[in-house]
Structure 1
């Protein structure tokens, strides 16, 4: 039986896809269709013939997936030659119902639709991708892999907010956490790098990209995480504020007459590094810092200070820490962020090796000093591979 899984990540105006060998992690092809529903869309496909770029009007997610299938035919690899074992879908919010990947049927679609109020920016697009794939691949098993699932091991004292009971019981208001597929993949890879079993390790995993989250992982299970009911809570991000006094919302309503929608948009799309430094691209922020831009420097300091606070908090939660793991675009590539976020924590047994930290590499590696009691690792994430592995494992189990 084939190990290949077609992984689909449908956003509100985009559709990303990868054809992954779940055993090896090798991508036979990948691509992204952007600006769905706009006058001119854009499609990039990486296949056996190299990279192809196409501009065309893409009215819907169905058109996007059909464009992807045509690219497989034209630029390879041909799906007639590669048997697909399953289709794996990234679904952002699984609520408290889904602690594991799940086979997609009408009941699951209804359940994910019921969760739309918890993720109105994400779940509708995820559902659109699922519905389109079910129509175009009616004979393939389809699996939903939830961003929140890895964090369903949080204890009640970690996920419960101190809010009225009916908010919690009737409206599902609690901490769920996100980036779960990334945290799960990176925690397992960190254990492999250290030559130990995940069950024997306490880790602090820092997923630092345009979206950022921290997780405390004990014995391979998440025990706390920085994102909350939505992906807005926690670390400073590219365009999201992270932690914020909730009374600010009421203040903006009273003083400025803002609507809930205006506040929500500002905190999700106009805040974070974008608000602090004028842009959310960390590479541009680094260039501005080097040029002496005071706004960029302050943004960098705020960003790293927040990370340091979470490292300290999760060190206390775990009691002892075997490794701190950096991942995602900023976590993997910014030596300055790693150094600034951990500076002054030597008393906690955390000691970077400057030369190792400043050496660029695309491989998982150790950047701490040999005598550091806590290892500091850089581990590239691979959420598509994690989704493929979880999807294939569930399909094989269902067929057994």
Structure 2
């Protein structure tokens, strides 16, 4: 049975999992204190710190790294790429170190996996990074030529859930039209047509608002705000991502607490939650036009899918479009492992990252 090591660095933790085939046999979550991370000016500077903790955790569990068939890291903010499983190479490592598309903890995933690969002779991969870009040309166009739409999304979970939804419907992912609504700290809603994610909102700058992100806001008034002299550039950026959404509306971002307030009669909390589900449902409805209404399924996933109220409100607005499937939470570790297993089992060929939008297809 194939043995795969999975490494998933997040903002304040590094998750490590071991899979024997499709079965997870080990999970370790290494928490990183804010005071420890504060010592590093840039995310990339955390590499040595996180790698040593990874080795210590595996040593404490008496796990020998030489026993693995492959290691996979979470993909980071790379240049736009097609969906798939990618061999980690020098172009990828250099792009992640440069961080031209932004700093993010996920950028460390490939670097950590590559280090394991170099030290222990194990093939290393990433799967469906956030920069997966399969958008139709027409979907890229915005109303301002300077600002084309960009595909940055929860591609790993979105693709995995689309495949799972296809199995529930009764066929292959490549055969169906599916909308996936990933409802987490950010909300990304994607349209999957015959195995490609042909449209998706960039959860950092458009679409429905979320717990701490603004989503789409009135652009003219935003421009006036930017040049009002009242805010610095960083303050504006923080308003859009970090202190927007529910945080801006209610001063809190914990959806469970907000739901408790709404259920106890707090009108502001109730309105904010109704607006959240309204915007999500409206985005799903808009994406249904991508398929000319020929939609095979809608999948709702992510942390907010644990909320019966949120799911019920969304379903009530979109169930006329197609069947709705609910997959609460996310399982990025399994999604990463499954991507590598498809390669190890010869079900798909690994792709080679070339940077700047260039993909070398398998021979």
- TM-score, normalising length: structure 1: 0.76
* Contact persistence 1:235–1:243 (CA under 8 A): yes
Structure 2 portions without partners, runs of 5+: 40-44, 351-361
Deviation at 1:287, TM superposition (A): 0.9
Deviation at 1:40, TM superposition (A): 10
- 1:339 counterpart = 2:312: yes
Structure 1 portions without partners, runs of 5+: 42-58, 351-373
Give the aligned length: 339
Deviation at 1:345, TM superposition (A): 4.8
3-state SS, counterpart of residue 269 of structure 1: coil
Q: Distance in 2 between matches of 1:297 and 1:36?
A: 33
CA RMSD of aligned residues (A): 2.8
Deviation at 1:226, TM superposition (A): 1.8
* Equivalent of residue 194 in structure 1, options 158, 166, 169: 169
Q: Distance in 1 between matches of 2:115 and 2:152?
A: 31
- 1:376 counterpart = 2:324: yes
- 1:28 counterpart = 2:26: yes
Deviation at 1:69, TM superposition (A): 2.8
Distance 1:186 1:394, change over 3 A: same
- 1:238 counterpart = 2:244: no
* Contact persistence 2:250–2:268 (CA under 8 A): yes
Q: Distance in 2 between matches of 1:195 and 1:98?
A: 25
Deviation at 1:25, TM superposition (A): 4.2
Deviation at 1:305, TM superposition (A): 0.8
Distance 1:217 1:231, change over 3 A: same
Alignment partner, residue 105 of structure 1: 89
* Equivalent of residue 263 in structure 1, options 232, 236, 239: 236
* Contact persistence 1:199–1:219 (CA under 8 A): yes
Distance 1:391 1:248, change over 3 A: farther
Distance 1:83 1:208, change over 3 A: same
Alignment partner, residue 337 of structure 2: 388
* Contact persistence 2:17–2:25 (CA under 8 A): yes
Q: Distance in 1 between matches of 2:317 and 2:114?
A: 52
**Runs (4+) off by over 6 Å:** none
Deviation at 1:37, TM superposition (A): 5.1
Alignment partner, residue 303 of structure 2: 329
Alignment partner, residue 142 of structure 2: 161
1:189-230 residue CA offsets vs partner (Å, 9 max, x unmatched): 111122222233221211112221111122232121122xx6
Deviation at 1:391, TM superposition (A): 3.0
Q: Distance in 2 between matches of 1:235 and 1:39?
A: 31
Alignment partner, residue 293 of structure 1: 266
Distance 1:101 1:249, change over 3 A: farther
Alignment partner, residue 17 of structure 2: 18
* Equivalent of residue 122 in structure 2, options 131, 134, 140: 140
Distance 1:128 1:315, change over 3 A: closer
Distance 1:287 1:148, change over 3 A: same
* Contact persistence 1:146–1:180 (CA under 8 A): yes
3-state SS, counterpart of residue 207 of structure 2: coil
* Contact persistence 2:75–2:110 (CA under 8 A): no
- 1:89 counterpart = 2:73: yes
Q: Distance in 2 between matches of 1:137 and 1:96?
A: 24
Deviation at 1:132, TM superposition (A): 4.3
3-state SS, counterpart of residue 100 of structure 2: helix
* Contact persistence 2:129–2:156 (CA under 8 A): yes
* Contact persistence 1:15–1:61 (CA under 8 A): no
Q: Distance in 2 between matches of 1:39 and 1:102?
A: 29
1:15-42 residue CA offsets vs partner (Å, 9 max, x unmatched): 2322233x3142422313222653899x
- Between the two structures, name the one with larger relative contact order (CA 8 Å, sep ≥ 6): 2
* Contact persistence 2:187–2:209 (CA under 8 A): yes
- Greater mean alpha carbon deviation, residues 304-313 or residues 64-73: 64-73
Deviation at 1:113, TM superposition (A): 4.1
Distance 1:215 1:100, change over 3 A: same
Alignment partner, residue 69 of structure 1: 55
Deviation at 1:134, TM superposition (A): 3.5
- TM-score, normalising length: structure 2: 0.83
